[in-house]
Chains A and B, each alone.
Chain A
Amino acid sequence: MLNAKTRYKLIPYAFLGIPVTIYFIWIIGPMLYSFYLSFTKWDGLTAPEFIGTKNYQMLFQDEVFYISLFNNLEWIILFMTIPIALGLTLAMVLNRDIPGAKTFKASFFLPMVLSLVVCGLVWSWLYSPHSGLINEVLRRIGLGALATGWLSNPKVVMEAVITVAIWRQVGYVMVLYLAGLQSVDQNLLDAAEVDGASALQRFFNVLMPQLAPVTVIVIVISIIDSLRAFDLVSVMTRGGPYNQSSVLANFMYIEAFNNYRMGYGAAIAVIIFIISLLFIMFYLTRIAREETNA
């Protein structure tokens, strides 16, 4: 029999036991195993064969890798800037007591509950070259020259897909800013106005600094979500045409599960992970700071 003190010391571990075990088996272990796999040649059937850094050497010479990396970068930039601009504007407008504010908010929330698959399908239909809404409207208003195969034209396909991601994201960013605005000190804004600060000065010098914590969260979430973006590309284009809408996550999936180059796929996954890790670490250090301050 353990004495009471030792038993008391073991209690927290007892509570953590099952969740941590599951977490290690399904998350931490697999994560580490991917690193190992990235140094192997593996077709998914026979045993993985160790080949050193060959996968990475191939990867850095693979044109599709660079296209995907560039597309991810474009995704990050658009997915961050446009939802922040729109979401913050909406939050500031809807934070006031204007008639119908609830309905407006709900309208922008709505896309958030649709799965990305549903969003991808609905927008694929809007983009459809022959009878899709966008081209039909363009033709009807005399801009038929602009009508194109939005998902088959290599020049616009990536932006067409990112648009859908943005459409779904704005509501989320708006929610976060609406919550952030609740903790903004109205007295500071009023004081600045009394002191003769212009609307722009009040916005950039008084409001934005107070909203900085929200902005940081939004930026981190946007980057992480952009890096793991997969569903829309998979449903709408599968990375085509000519890999022009390929992103790293989709590139990884196709190499691993369609081409059975699983070691190669693991190497792509490791690259995605390492890029994400920079931002995960940044986020964790922020949380650590708050923890020690609290």
Chain B
Amino acid sequence: MPKRNNVPLAVKIVLYLFLVAVTLIWLVPIFIAIITSMRTNADIMSHGFLAMPKTIDLKSYFEAWQRGGLHKYLPNSFIITMPSLVLTLLLSSLGAYSLARFKFKGRTFFYFLFVGGTMLPFQILLLPVFKLSDALGIYDTYFALIAIHTAFQLGFCTFVLRNYMMTVPVQVMESARIDGCTELGIWGKIMLPLTLPAFAAIATLEFTWIFNDYIWPLVLIRSSEKMPVTTGLATLQGQYVQDWTVIISGALLATIPTLIVFIFLQRYFIAGLTLGSNK
């Protein structure tokens, strides 16, 4: 083995400190957001942002939550995200099972249809889906968003699950088939449990994606009672122009759910990102 530790210690320390500095700079926006949310707007406006805050004040959180409307936007985000997540995972695992385990006409075609769809610019869908939702009478309802999220995310989930399912040994399924298990049974009792790691990974990822989506509620939801937190925040921004403490407090509140996912499921989140790009 060649020696790799030929760099002098002093240089190492300097490089390490440089890394620490870069990381801290990277986090500045987040620190600033937290500090801002705990100050009052009057304090910032009169003393400047760099002045030491005299008091800690959490009023703007309450303001954003109540009058700013986050108490309705945030639950709405869950009402939209959870069903979309369950539906897209369920449906894509059906499709993925078929694409991974059977040889049939159109197999490659459907696979590429799903893979290609993951990269589609959604601008091409905005107007027709807006029109479709209107025609189906679901414009300005949660259903409109659940439908488009489910459909749009099918591509990515099918792609990842199909590739994961390809790695499950065929023999496992063959023996189940011989034991008289139905295809639906093999899918549910054998394939799904074996693909749990992939499920965990894409579920965390999809949760953040759907939760953080902004364009679809912008196009499909009009009444503020049904808005998720992303368009809700944009409304809040218009409502509290220049009142940065309330806007930033709202933004931080909106981040809590995805932050929790990130803190507890970081491993899966990262696994999802790499799963999606490995092939």
Query: A residues engaging B (CB < 8 A)?
Result: 9, 11-16, 18-20, 22-23, 25-31, 33-34, 37, 44, 93, 98, 104, 106-111, 113-119, 121-123, 125-126, 128, 130-133, 136-137, 140, 167, 170, 172, 175-176, 179, 190, 193-194, 214, 217, 220-221, 224, 227-228, 230-231, 234-235, 248-249, 252-253, 256-257, 262, 265-266, 268-270, 272-273, 276, 279-280, 283-284, 287-288, 290-291
Which positions 96-111 of chain B face chain A at CB distance < 8 Å?
97-99, 101-102, 104, 107-108, 110
Complex CA–CA separation, A270 to B121 (angstroms)? 10
Query: Chain A contacts of B277 at CB under 8 A?
Result: 176, 179, 214, 217, 221
Query: Chain A contacts of B150 at CB under 8 A?
Result: 22, 26
B262 in contact with A26 (CB, 8 Å): no
Query: Given A20-B95, A117-B230, are A280 and B119 also a contact pair (CB < 8 Å)?
Result: yes
Query: Chain A contacts of B151 at CB under 8 A?
Result: 22-23, 25-27
Question: Which segment, of B55-63, B168-176, B192-200, B253-261, faces chain A?
Answer: B253-261
**A-B CB contact pairs (8 Å), 6 listed:** A14-B98, A121-B251, A125-B33, A172-B273, A190-B1, A272-B121
A31 in contact with B114 (CB, 8 Å): no
Complex CA–CA separation, A240 to B1 (angstroms)? 58
A15 in contact with B212 (CB, 8 Å): no
Complex CA–CA separation, A33 to B127 (angstroms)? 9
A109 in contact with B258 (CB, 8 Å): no
A284 in contact with B116 (CB, 8 Å): yes
A22 in contact with B91 (CB, 8 Å): yes
B237 in contact with A235 (CB, 8 Å): yes
- Shortest CB-to-CB span from A30 to chain B, Å, is 3
Query: Chain A contacts of B230 at CB under 8 A?
Result: 115, 117
Over the window 31-51 of chain B, the binary record of Cβ atoms lying under 8 Å from chain A Cβ atoms (1 yes, 0 no) is 011001000000011001110
Complex CA–CA separation, A173 to B33 (angstroms)? 24
B113 in contact with A269 (CB, 8 Å): no
A117 in contact with B128 (CB, 8 Å): no
Complex CA–CA separation, A230 to B124 (angstroms)? 13
Query: Given A110-B30, A121-B247, A131-B49, are A34 and B128 also a contact pair (CB < 8 Å)?
Result: yes
